[in-house]
Amino acid sequence: MSQSQLVPEHTAVLSMDIQNTIVSIYAKDRPDFLEKAAGVLNEARRLGMTVVHVRVGFRPNLPEISTNNPLFAALKSSTQHQAIFAGDKGEIHPLLGPEADDIVVVKHRVSAFAGTDLQMVLRAKEIDTLVLFGIATSGVVLSTLLEACDADYRLIVISDCCIDADAGLHACLMEKLFPRRAMIMTASQFLSGLPATVSPSQPPFK
């Protein structure tokens, strides 16, 4: 499948957790990352696709976080970690937006769907295809992809617009797990309309 085969009015591009401090931590060795991500979003807007920014955010004193959740409980106990999501540090990187018609979803867990109104927005706009990318590959991208797959969305992952602290884990997900549930496409392929990479176990979209 290529970008040209997507139906723009039924396609949403999810840019996930690309927030100022997160970018400074994960993408410091990837100077091309923001340019590629911005290019994908600009092309999506030009084509008339829905652009959704997903960001992590909390109320004062983090009432959304349970001590039963080991990942987020560690965040609640560390003011240093909380600062990552506070004020300008937690805003979406300005090179990506949001622009006037973009949608912003604030989440309190790893998946873009958990506890948010994302599903409602997608259903209201009659979206059936999602293009995913973000930080980190083994975090929000993985969790959102699995939930979206179970909800029967058609999925594309922009591989070089995803980053993980563990390069080996990133490669494993892109090469072995993701292709069984999604099409894998580079930013260049998306921009030029070239076909995505299809796993033998995953037939192309009709």
Would you say residue 156 lies in a domain?
Answer: yes
- Is pLDDT at 34 greater than 70 in this prediction? yes
Would you say residue 20 lies in a domain?
Answer: yes
Would you say residue 201 lies in a domain?
Answer: no
Would you say residue 101 lies in a domain?
Answer: yes
Range of the domain at 186: 3-192
Would you say residue 117 lies in a domain?
Answer: yes
Residue whose pair of structure tokens reads 């973000």 in the numeric block: 134
Would you say residue 24 lies in a domain?
Answer: yes
Would you say residue 19 lies in a domain?
Answer: yes
- Is pLDDT at 51 greater than 70 in this prediction? yes
Q: Give the global pTM.
A: 0.88
Would you say residue 202 lies in a domain?
Answer: no
State the pLDDT at residue 46: 95
CATH classification at residue 34 = 3.40.50.850
Model confidence pLDDT, tens digit, residues 59-72: 777 666 788 888 77
Number of domains in the chain: 1
